[in-house]
């Protein structure tokens, strides 16, 4: 009995963690390349979820079958979020590339605030019901009562995305250019890398994974509103920092750790202070190990 | 890239279709974005031209504020005019207007407090509202449990703010820039969530009501008079704040803050105690926020955790950024504009936060110095030359 409860919490943590991981990837990639915390990232995630919702409801009216809806909604949401990510970078960050860090950060906060309220105005502030996109399928019997089909889908999608992303970064030309840019932007430029394009690509990739995360979590929880991006964004950031910001395996590891700790904390201690706990976690990590679990300590640039 | 820009923006904004199709909105957004993109491109081009000029050393602009403050013929009458207006204000306008003005003045005060932290010391503090909440709850709880009055609690609130500033300051001293912003944000949220969840302590989301207004030597005041009294009190406190911050800015520690903002490592090399300097900045900023909180509680007579969300911090940050980081007049102007404008443009009030966000981005992109860009120039080596050339 107790063991089962533990398993449930463990899997819950795993699910949470993998969604955080999808969002945290964006933070970590962007930070790795331009050393900026993209505050608007959580909002991109939210926009992805909203787009998916809108597309789904339109398609449902048109009467397509469910598989087509899922595929189309995901594709459209990913494209839209990527376009957002791209535009945000062009508007809010690119002009500030050589400005002080404080300016870029304030600009990012402004962007986040703008997007949030823009969605609030365009949609409503209510929680909108989100249809469960993932069809029910039977899980093998001994696990059936602790893991649902949605959780399964989330886990599988996350793993697939991770593998694709690792492949992209390790073995393709773009990935190589990205790594080069992350190490030294000027040198990469000298070596013939179009740095601006790489930064755009990074933003697009990060936004796409965030959108996937958005769709998954929205269909998992079953409702969204304009504010969901903020909290998840912060938590994903915590995860990214926990794993060592700038490192992709670190982001995944950090997300899983955060997901599990949160899940066990809620399960065994109290659910009221869940968010407080996440924030405290963040504060402690930043104070005692700002480089994270897998992070390297940066040398001070003078 | 410039050519694809408007297309990009238009496509991005077409999200606004729910199941009810709102093509009208789409059209408005399309037209708006088209016009905006022209403005945007014009501004970008202007900015680029500007940077080219400054790089070539063609122009040496002296900020408007400094030009004015150089000429006593302009600024003395202006000062008298403003002072006269400030005194006549509650008599000339309705109570509603006065109330708005009080709010604006509170923002002037805490804006100046945040200005110490962000503008002078260059530490981005996103949890500033936490200190504000601390001040407000100090007054509310002390009053609720012990019946202490406004004047007793005002210094206590300031002291508690100071304490919390040090409390937060100590652990986060090693961090800077982005990490600092995130930690302070987290701290702000922690305070808010605790206030919301710890029912026995803070009465939870329902808040605390019936907080008395500040007393005037024990005389019972009517609502009208109380508002007026509050207004003058705020004028006095704002003046006090301006005075103190101004003195601080030109003092040894103020210079240390600015040095810290400009270059932390060079500053350490010059023998400034980084820890102490940062800590004082944090603590002093928090002190003003604590006082502001006490006044806020006294003004609204009711507080609950919903007044102290992260967005409140961002509005205060907007005040500082819009006005011009590090400039006192700028912050005052920023507070007045940001708080008064939405009140008078009621029709647009739902777009307020949206505009705030857009404004932060636009300010950072085009005028990172704010409306009144300040001080920085005079401390530069070249600035001295320009100064003497002008004389």
Min Cα–Cα distance to chain B from A253, Å: 20
Decide if A248 contacts A165 (C-beta within 8 A): yes
How far from A193 is each of A97, B33, B238, CA to CA, in Å?
17, 32, 54
Mutate to test the interface with A, among B4, B23, B39, B178 (most CBs of A within 10 A): B178
Cβ within 8 Å of A, B 227-266 = 265
* A57–B9 CB contact, under 8 Å: no
The distance of B61 to chain A (nearest Cα, Å) reads 19
Return the structure tokens found at A32: 């790795």
pLDDT at B390: 46
The mean predicted confidence, pLDDT, of chain B is 70
* Residues contacting residue A144 through CB under 8 Å, at least 6 positions apart: A138
H/E element, B65: helix B64-70
Cβ contact B384:B339 at 8 Å: no
pLDDT tier at A277 (50, 70, 90 boundaries)? confident
B216 forms beta bridges with B219
Cβ separation B354–A276 shorter than 8 A: no
Q: Is A287 on the interface with B (CB under 8 A)?
A: yes
Q: Note the pLDDT tens digit of each residue in A27-65.
A: 888 887 777 777 788 888 888 887 777 777 777 777 667
A65-69, A221-225, B220-224: the lowest-pLDDT one = B220-224
pLDDT digit string, tens, across residues A143-163:
555 566 677 777 888 888 888
Structure tokens at A132: 């469960």
Residues B290 and B267: their CA atoms lie apart, in Å, by 29
Going by C-beta distance under 8 Å and a sequence separation of 6 or more, which residues neighbour residue B26?
B14, B16, B17
Q: DSSP class of residue A223?
A: E
Show residues of chain B in contact with A279, CB under 8 Å: 186-187, 189-190, 193
Angle of helix B72-92 relative to helix B223-249, nearest 10 degrees? 160
Interface test with B, best of A104, A117, A207 (most B CBs within 10 A): A117
Which residues of B, range 275-314, sit inside 8 Å of A by Cβ?
310-311, 314
What DSSP designation does A89 have?
I
Query: What is the value of ipTM here, to two decimals?
Result: 0.70
Q: CB distance from B189 to chain A under 8 Å? A: yes
Q: pLDDT value at position B328?
A: 75
Q: Which residues lie closer than 8 Å to B314 by C-beta, 6 or more apart?
A: A109, A113, B126, B356, B360
Test B17 with A51 for CB contact under 8 angstroms. Answer: no
Task: Please give the interface size between A and B, counted as residue pairs whose CB atoms are below 8 Å apart.
Answer: 162
The confidence score (pLDDT) of residue B65 equals 52
pTM recorded for the entire structure: 0.74
pLDDT at B276 over 70: yes
pLDDT at B16 over 80: no
As a whole number of angstroms, the distance between CA A119 and CA B355 comes to 13
CB contact under 8 A, B353 and A105: no
Q: Which residues of chain A lie closer than 8 angstroms to B354, CB-CB?
A: 113-114, 117-118, 120-121
Query: Are A204 and A14 in contact, with CB atoms under 8 Å apart?
Result: no
CB contact under 8 A, A54 and B18: yes
Q: What's the rounded Cα separation, in Å, for the pair B146 and B387?
A: 57
Inter-chain touch A105–B186, beta carbons under 8 Å: no
- Check residue B69 and give its pLDDT: 56
Of A54, A100, A107, which has the smallest distance from its Cβ to B365's Cβ? A107
CB contact set of B245 (below 8 Å; sequence gap of 6+): B112, B115, B116, B328
A269 in Cβ contact with A257 (< 8 Å):
no
Stated as kind and residue range, the H or E segment containing A224 is: strand A223-224
Nearest to A80 among B15, B40, B354 (CB): B15
- Residue A138: pLDDT above 60? no
Q: Which of A125-139, B283-297, B348-362 has the highest mean pLDDT?
A: B283-297
| Residue A302: predicted pLDDT | 33
Q: Percent of chain A at pLDDT above 70?
A: 79
- What pLDDT does residue B331 have? 78
The span from the CA of A33 to the CA of A182, in Å, is 4
Q: What is the dihedral of CA B107, B109, B110, B111, to 10 degrees?
A: 70
Would you state the structure tokens that stand for residue A138, as one six-digit string?
Answer: 């039977």
What pLDDT shows up at residue A19?
82
Q: Which of B360, B366, B367, B370 to mutate to test the interface with A (most CBs of A within 10 A)?
A: B360
pLDDT at A133 over 70: no
B142-173 confidence digits (pLDDT tens)? 877 776 777 777 788 888 888 888 887 777 77
CB proximity A276 to B under 8 Å: yes
Backbone angles phi, psi at A128, to 5 degrees: -95, 135
What pLDDT, on the 0 to 100 scale, is given for residue B380?
A: 43
Contact flag B353-A116 (C-beta cutoff 8 Å):
yes
Average pLDDT of the residues in B229-245: 80
- Higher pLDDT: A107 or A269? It is A107
Which residue from A54, A57, A96 is facing B364, i.e. has the nearest CB? Answer: A96
Q: Would you tell me which residues 161-180 of chain B have a C-beta closer than 8 angstroms to some C-beta of chain A?
A: 171-172, 174-175, 177-179
Question: How many of the other CB atoms lie within 10 Å of CB of A8?
Answer: 15
User: For the residues of B344-374, what is the DSSP string, one character each?
Assistant: H-GGGGGGHHHHHHHHHHHHHHH-TT-SS--
DSSP 8-state code for residue A294: T
Q: How far is CA B348 from CA A121, B355, B361, in A?
A: 12, 10, 19
CB B111 within 8 A of CB B314: no
The whole-angstrom separation of Cα A110 and Cα B353 is 10
Q: Which one, of B114, B139, B149, lies nearest residue B297 by Cα?
A: B139
- Residue of A84, A110, A300 with shortest CB distance to B359: A110
Measured distance CA(A264)–CA(A73) in Å, rounded: 33
For residue B41, the tally of other CB atoms under 10 A from its CB is: 14
Which pairs with CB-CB distance under 8 Å and at least 24 residues apart come from A64-71?
Answer: A66/A133, A66/A135, A67/A135, A69/A133, A70/A133, A70/A134
Q: How many CB atoms lie within 10 A of CB A105?
A: 23
Residue B56 has pLDDT above 60, yes or no: no
Task: Give residue B215's region: left, alpha or beta (phi > 0; psi -120 to 50).
Answer: beta
Asked whether the beta carbons of B320 and B373 are under 8 A apart, the reply is: no
Say how many CA atoms lie within 13 Å of A213 toward its Cβ: 31
pLDDT number for residue A217: 77
Confidence (pLDDT) at B13: 46
Are the Cβ atoms of B353 and A302 closer than 8 angstroms? no
Between helices A228-243 and A41-62, what is the axis angle to 10°?
A: 130
Cβ distance B12 to A87 less than 8 Å, yes or no, reads: yes
Chain A residues in contact with B186 (beta carbon < 8 A): 234, 279-280, 282-283
The kind and range of the H/E element at A128 are strand A128-129
If one compares B282 and A229, the residue with the highest pLDDT of the two is: B282
**Chain A residues within 8 A of B361 when measuring between CB atoms:** 91-92, 107, 110-111, 114
**pLDDT (tens digit, 9 = 90+) per residue, B130-148?**
888 888 888 888 877 776 7
- pLDDT reading at A259 higher than 50: yes
Residue A95 pLDDT exceeds 80: no
Segment B321-346, tens digit of pLDDT: 777 776 777 777 777 777 777 666 66
Predicted pLDDT at B348: 61
Q: Which residues of B touch A272 (CB under 8 A)?
A: 197
């Amino acid at each position: 009995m107790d063991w089962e409860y533990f398993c449930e919490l463990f899997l819950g943590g795993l699910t949470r963690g993998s969604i955080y991981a999808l969002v945290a990837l964006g933070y970590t990639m962007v930070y790795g390349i331009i050393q900026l915390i993209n505050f608007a990232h959580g909002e991109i995630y939210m926009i992805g979820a909203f787009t998916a919702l809108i597309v789904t409801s339109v398609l449902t009216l048109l009467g397509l079958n469910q598989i087509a809806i899922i595929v189309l909604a995901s594709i459209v949401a990913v494209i839209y979020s990527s376009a957002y990510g791209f535009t945000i970078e062009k508007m809010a960050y690119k002009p500030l590339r050589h400005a002080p860090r404080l300016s870029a950060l304030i600009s990012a906060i402004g962007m986040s605030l703008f997007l949030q309220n823009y969605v609030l105005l365009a949609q409503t502030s209510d929680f909108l019901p989100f249809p469960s996109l993932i069809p029910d399928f039977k899980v093998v019997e001994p696990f059936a009562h602790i893991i649902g089909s949605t959780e399964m889908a989330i886990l599988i999608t996350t793993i697939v995305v991770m593998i694709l992303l690792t492949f992209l970064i390790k073995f393709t030309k773009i990935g190589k250019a990205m790594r080069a840019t992350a190490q030294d932007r000027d040198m990469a430029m000298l070596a013939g890398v179009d740095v601006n394009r790489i930064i755009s690509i990074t933003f697009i990739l990060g936004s796409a994974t965030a959108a996937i995360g958005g769709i998954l979590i929205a269909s998992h929880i079953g409702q969204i509103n304009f504010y969901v991006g903020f909290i998840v964004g912060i938590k994903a950031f915590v995860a990214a920092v926990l794993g060592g910001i700038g490192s992709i395996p670190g982001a995944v590891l950090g997300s899983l750790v955060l997901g599990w700790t949160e899940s066990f904390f809620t399960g065994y201690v109290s659910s009221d202070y869940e968010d407080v706990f996440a924030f405290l976690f963040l504060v402690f990590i930043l104070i005692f190990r700002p480089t994270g679990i897998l992070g390297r300590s940066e040398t001070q640039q003078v | 890239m410039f050519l694809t820009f408007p297309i990009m923006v238009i496509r991005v904004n077409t999200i606004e279709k729910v199941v009810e199709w709102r093509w009208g909105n789409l059209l408005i957004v399309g037209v708006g974005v088209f016009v905006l993109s022209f403005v945007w491109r014009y501004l970008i081009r202007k900015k680029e031209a500007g940077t080219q000029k400054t790089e070539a050393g063609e122009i040496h602009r002296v900020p408007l504020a400094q030009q004015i403050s150089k000429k006593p013929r302009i600024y003395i009458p202006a000062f008298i005019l403003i002072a006269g207006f400030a005194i006549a204000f509650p008599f000339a306008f309705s109570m509603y207007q006065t109330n708005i003005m009080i709010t604006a003045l509170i923002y002037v005060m805490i804006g100046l407090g945040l200005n110490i932290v962000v503008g002078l010391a260059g530490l981005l503090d996103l949890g500033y509202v936490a200190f504000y909440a601390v001040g407000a709850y100090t007054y509310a709880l002390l009053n609720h449990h012990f019946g202490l009055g406004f004047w007793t609690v005002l210094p206590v609130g300031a002291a508690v703010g100071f304490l919390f500033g040090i409390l937060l300051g100590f652990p986060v001293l090693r961090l800077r820039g982005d990490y600092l912003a995130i930690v302070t944000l987290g701290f702000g949220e922690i305070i808010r969530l605790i206030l919301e969840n710890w029912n026995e302590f803070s009465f939870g989301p329902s808040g605390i009501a019936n907080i008395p207004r500040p007393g005037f030597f024990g005389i019972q005041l009517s609502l009208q008079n109380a508002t007026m009294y509050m207004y003058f009190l705020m004028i006095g406190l704002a003046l006090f704040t301006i005075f103190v911050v101004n003195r601080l800015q030109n003092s040894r520690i103020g210079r240390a803050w600015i040095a810290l903002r400009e270059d932390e490592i060079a500053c350490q090399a010059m023998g400034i105690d980084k820890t102490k300097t940062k800590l004082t900045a944090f603590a002093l900023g928090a002190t003003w926020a604590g006082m502001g909180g006490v006044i806020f509680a006294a003004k609204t007579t009711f507080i609950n955790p919903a007044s102290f969300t992260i967005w409140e911090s961002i509005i205060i940050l907007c005040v500082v950024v819009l006005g011009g980081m590090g400039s006192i007049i700028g912050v005052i102007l920023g507070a007045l504009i940001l708080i008064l404008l939405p009140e008078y443009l009621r029709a647009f009030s739902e777009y307020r936060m949206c505009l705030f966000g857009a404004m932060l981005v636009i300010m950072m992109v085009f005028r990172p110095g704010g409306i009144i860009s300040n001080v920085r120039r005079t401390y530069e080596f070249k600035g001295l030359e320009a100064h003497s050339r002008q004389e």
